[in-house]
Structure 1
Amino acid sequence: MRNPAGILTRRALTATVAAGVGLATLASSALVSPARAADDPLKVGFIYVGPVGDFGWSYQHDQGRQAIEAEFGDAVETTYVESVPEGADAERVLNQLAAGGHDLIFATSFGFMNSTIKTARKFPDVMFEHATGYKRADNVATYAARFYEGRYVIGIIAGMMTETNTIGYIASVPIPEVVRGINAFTQGLRSVNPEANVKVIWVNSWYDPGKEREAAETLFAQGADVLTQHTDSPAPVQVAEEKGIYAFGQASDMSQFGPNAHLTAIVDDWHGYYIDRTRAVMDGTWESTDTWGGLDSGMVAISDYNPILPPEVVDAAEDARKAIEAGELHPLAGPLMDQVGQVVVAEGEVPDDAALLSMDWFVQGVLGQVPK
């Protein structure tokens, strides 16, 4: 495997960064990526906010990386760096990947946004892709998935399966993506069970199994008999299995961690997008774009339903999924009222993407506040 500019590859690079040593030596002295010969493999780099073994967000992105390798074989060479904190560390790693001859770099967390933009200015010949962000440049594209569509579907399941009418929600960090998902889940929940409420606990981390477990146990103690999450470890599913309640997986099918508790999961499927964008660099058609795919695109999917679900519950979930895919149902269509009863989205209206991307308020039915 080629190793230009002294950059380490795959797990060796991961281990170096995790150990916190040797970072400076990985970068080229010139802020220009080495030229790639026509017969050299395309170098594709990935930077992850969590470990590839989180079985959630970073795990699914790494499945997409592996899909690139499976599709293109020796024509590509992929590298990843896992567990990179959002901030200065991310900028250093991005610089190292770009200086190490990578032609295409995927930065896969919202908090990598500014670091990606700064690095892209230094390496205009490198193509960057940033997940869930909104800042673009000639060599920076953005991409995300409409996870809130899947959250509406599982909200319906929760509303039909709960007996206590209390649903626990383990939330990561208070950005619009997370708030939007909580609201969509609650709208789905209340579409079939107007008496149900959602209790939210913020753990202020994308991946922290200890905090996620503690939050799940607290919510169970407060009467929740269904747990859902926008965090990346399977800890909440494991707690649900231990307590004899229900749960939903996040980003990937987590049923192995709670075969009785796990009802289904929202699956993030990046395979097609990563293959398409890699091919675009290869054939010279890559452009800076903004992609926001939903259930109809395949970027969001619902995993297999647990056989314990009654047929009428599966039917209700599938009806909603199909209606969303067909554009007949919008999870956040009006009327939407905030927690104090003020109409924010009128009946018959649908919030545009700008409103969705800036959502910082909760709908009725959510107990708890959006941290400021």
Structure 2
Amino acid sequence: MKTRIFRLLAVAALTAGCSIASVSAAEEPMKVGFIYVGPVGDHGWSYEHDRARKELEKALPGQITTTFVENVAEGADAERVITQLAKSGNKVIFTTSFGFMNPTLKVAKKFPNVIFEHATGYKRTKNVGTYIQRAYEGRYVAGVAAGMLTKSNTIGYIASFPIPEVYRDIDAVFMGAKSVNPNVKIKIVWVNSWYDPGKETDAANTLIDQGVDVLMQHTDSPAPMMVAEKRGIRAVGQASDVSHYGPKAHIFSIVDNWEPHYLKTIQAVKDGSWKPQDYWGGFAEDVVKLGSINDNLPQNVKDAINTTYTKIKTGELKPFTGPLKDNTGKEVVAAGHSMTDAELAQINWFVEGIDATVAK
């Protein structure tokens, strides 16, 4: 009797123009994978990507399932992990660090039916798109605040790796600072790591010992903010709101908000409209935000932060608009020209006034 009922159900399904297997498949949620270079508890870059992953699941209940792998080294290990995510049936895979670029492309060739989105890179194929936040917008605002707050006229930057993203953000900080303080200087310490609390602590102390009294970072732990709090200087938070690590030191945090892009990407995949593109999101798209502007700041500094933020968000102010020279005196942006995204992605120079050498 049970066999007969099963056969009748199968015939009914086929008559309706579908199979039992396809009915089941239609109910299966889409699998989405994420790979992180640091721990989800870094309170910075990877933390914010993972927070957005959780929000994505909340926004699409029952429609997707997500998985992530944290602490993945850039290089061969990344290729292994991305391959495993593809083999596990993930329809979309987000690879969230610059050093994952070539491993992503290699795996994408082997899995043409999987869609890959790579953060901060510049290489695309038919199933690989790229995306990045306009962190330089937040950096410019940070520079304005730093230029107004510094008493030593010396601000500091803890830099991760010598790549366009980092050069671009250092330049933006310095240009913002120079716009309000013509005497300001910037000192840079390279740590060659995205996340290393020990190195970040040492770099922060080194910069402060050299006279820096406002600190910024392109690394992912709250260690520099904690050092700033301990040593009585000011600092800007990186990637997420780290105000609780430096209640007195904290100026504001430049917060990454990846949720809008992740949601838009998954919806495009689901409706078949996804295409490989180079996506940039900033203040205007709420992909970059200013978190927890400190109440202990002077009113004129708070006003300058808010005014600069609004001008950039509305497009009135575009930080990389010429004329601009690099620190060798060469014109790199012509008068009146605002750099395109493609040009911004290739910055490998320090703006005029920065006493530092570009890595070869």
Alignment TM-score > 0.5, same fold: yes
Q: Do the aligned partners of 2:142 and 2:173 also contact (CA within 8 Å) in 1? A: yes
When normalised by structure 1's length, the TM-score is: 0.88
Residue 281 (structure 1) shift: 2.1
Q: Secondary structure at the match of 1:73?
A: coil
CA distance in 2, matches of 1:267, 1:111: 22
2:153 is the alignment partner of 1:189? no
Q: Secondary structure at the match of 1:370?
A: coil
2:200 is the alignment partner of 1:209? no
More deviation, 343-352/168-177: 343-352
Q: 322, 346, 355: which one pairs with 2:343?
A: 355
Residue 298 (structure 1) shift: 0.9
Task: Report the equivalent of 1:58.
Answer: 46
Task: Report the equivalent of 2:304.
Answer: 316
Task: Report the equivalent of 1:242.
Answer: 230
Task: Report the equivalent of 1:166.
Answer: 154
- The number of residues matched between the two structures is 337
Give unmatched runs, 5+ long, in structure 2. Answer: 1-23
Q: Do the aligned partners of 2:108 and 2:116 also contact (CA within 8 Å) in 1? A: yes
For 1:287-337, what per-residue CA distance to the aligned partner results, in whole angstroms no more than 9, with x for missing partners? 222211121111111112100111111111211111111111111212222
Q: Secondary structure at the match of 1:297?
A: coil
Q: 145, 156, 167: which one pairs with 1:179?
A: 167
Distance 1:280 1:353, change over 3 A: closer
2:106 is the alignment partner of 1:118? yes
Residue 75 (structure 1) shift: 2.0
For 1:141-163, what per-residue CA distance to the aligned partner results, in whole angstroms no more than 9, with x for missing partners? 11111111110011000000110
Task: Report the equivalent of 1:142.
Answer: 130
Q: Secondary structure at the match of 2:162?
A: coil
Q: Do the aligned partners of 2:138 and 2:254 also contact (CA within 8 Å) in 1? A: yes
Give the partner amino acid of 1:246.
R
CA distance in 2, matches of 1:279, 1:361: 38
Q: Secondary structure at the match of 1:248?
A: strand
Tell me the C-alpha RMSD between the 2 structures: 1.2
CA distance in 2, matches of 1:282, 1:325: 30
Task: Report the equivalent of 1:272.
Answer: 260
CA distance in 1, matches of 2:204, 2:326: 25
Task: Report the equivalent of 1:295.
Answer: 283
CA distance in 1, matches of 2:279, 2:339: 18
Residue 351 (structure 1) shift: 2.4
Give the partner amino acid of 2:302.
V
Identity %: 57
More deviation, 187-196/70-79: 70-79
Q: Secondary structure at the match of 1:44?
A: strand
Give the partner amino acid of 1:136.
R
Q: Do the aligned partners of 1:335 and 1:349 also contact (CA within 8 Å) in 2? A: yes
Distance 1:363 1:140, change over 3 A: same
Q: 295, 298, 303: which one pairs with 1:307?
A: 295
Q: Do the aligned partners of 1:196 and 1:365 also contact (CA within 8 Å) in 2? A: no
Residue 47 (structure 1) shift: 0.2
Within 5 A, what are the aligned runs for 1:79-94? 79-94=67-82
Give the partner amino acid of 2:240.
S
When normalised by structure 2's length, the TM-score is: 0.91
Task: Report the equivalent of 1:260.
Answer: 248
Task: Report the equivalent of 1:78.
Answer: 66
CA distance in 1, matches of 2:203, 2:99: 23
Q: Secondary structure at the match of 2:26?
A: coil
More deviation, 297-306/209-218: 297-306
CA distance in 2, matches of 1:285, 1:149: 29
2:270 is the alignment partner of 1:282? yes
CA distance in 2, matches of 1:128, 1:339: 37
CA distance in 2, matches of 1:75, 1:347: 50
